[in-house]
Amino acid sequence: MVNSLIDLAAYLRRIGWNDEVAPTMACLEGLVRAHTAAIPFENLNPLLGIPVELSPEALDRKIIRGGRGGYCFEQNLLFGHALRAIGFVAEGLAARVLWNQPPGTITPRTHMLLRVQLDGADRVVDVGFGGQTLTGVLRLEPEVEQTTPHELFRLLRQDGDWLMEARIGDSWRPLYRFDLQPQHDIDYELANHFVSTHPRSHFTFNLAVARAEPGRRYALRNREFAVHHTGGETERRVLKDATEICDLLEGVFRLRVPDHPELARRLGQLPS
């Protein structure tokens, strides 16, 4: 163990981890599964106009002790702090999101993922991609189909970058492209400010919540709630009002809903 920027014991309780921790592959894979099952992806702060803070103290206060979730910067920064406290060698990278984008679209570097060096090899970890978040650990190897607790994933080389894809049904879908240039906190602060405040950022006017557990993924996009069964069908239904949305956030997504005067109004305005 090394000195931690977060309360590691409290974090492990938050994700329901009761085993010993050590910088091993088994521990890394277990922590990824536990984190993605316990801490939901969510963007309530940008939707409500609340600043998204990325300091270790803010992440501890909001996610560990506050029962909230967060989006990529919050999730992967928190996970990175925990990994380094355990003794892993982990650094942050930046990616251009391609999910649901037309082919050839150039997007900004608004996503964070982690590179973990373990057993003499590089691994890719990402607990903060939302509905298609990576619930396993990938080897940084091209052209190899890799099994995760949910879908198959693979990494490709494209114009000097790495391209991450997931197998959805019968086709491969691109998630994002990235390189191996390590990022500094200020890089994430800049991207986070854009994502959480810019009027063109979909996080400021859409609700996006997701959580994965064995055999299924839960996803909420505005009022549409979906349960994606691994290798099977998807169930969908439309929520009728803010009360039903809040009940789902607290129940299915295990999220402590913030006490905010604008919450009911903003949720009530979401499109179906």
Residues annotated as catalytic are 72, 111, 126
Instruction: Tell me the pairing of strands 138-139 and 121-125.
Output: antiparallel
CA angle, 271 as apex, 264 and 44 as ends, to 5°?
45
> Helix/strand/coil (H, E, C) string of 122-174?
EEEECCCCHHHCCCCCEECCECCCEECCCCEEEEEEECCEEEEEEEECCEEEE
Q: Give the list of residues 6+ apart from residue 108 with CB closer than 8 angstroms, or none.
A: 96, 191, 194
User: Sign of the C-alpha dihedral, residues 196, 201, 203, 206?
Assistant: positive
Residue 97, exposed/middle/buried by CB under 10 A (0-12, 13-18, 19+)? buried
Question: Among all chains, which residue has been given the structure tokens 């607790």?
Answer: 149
CA-to-CA distance for 132 and 151, rounded, in angstroms?
9
DSSP string, 19-31: S---SSHHHHHHH
Locus of tokens 């790495």:
162
